[in-house]
Amino acid sequence: MVLFGLLGRVRAFDRHCNMVLENVREMWTEIPKTGKGKKKALPVNKDRFISKMFLRGDSVIIVLRDLK
């Protein structure tokens, strides 16, 4: 199971919610699978930086404005 999110600046978008994002921080949590009879594994938080990316609109769930 993997949970994830993106945090970045929207540079462009269209009516389908396709977006060009800059300075994106991708964050996700990996929950490792455990074998039979092993201890329960702890979730691991990971992240990475992406300078520029295209995000297809059908994967967009919510867009929030920065409150600054």
Taking only the tens place, the pLDDT of each residue in 12-59 is 999 999 999 999 999 999 888 777 666 777 888 999 999 999 999 998
In a domain, residue 55? The reply is yes
In a domain, residue 66? The reply is no
Say yes or no to pLDDT of 8 above 70: yes
In a domain, residue 52? The reply is yes
Contacts 24+ apart (CB under 8 A), 2-10: 2/28, 2/29, 2/30, 2/31, 3/28, 3/29, 4/28, 4/29, 6/55, 8/50, 8/53, 10/63
Residue 3 confidence (pLDDT): 63
Q: In what order do the strands lie in the sheet with 2-13?
A: 2-13, 19-30, 44-55
Number of domains in the chain: 1
In a domain, residue 30? The reply is yes
In a domain, residue 64? The reply is no
In a domain, residue 68? The reply is no
pTM given for the model:
0.74
Residue 66 confidence (pLDDT): 79
Whole domain around residue 27: which residue ranges?
2-59
**Domain containing residue 23: CATH number:** 2.30.30.100
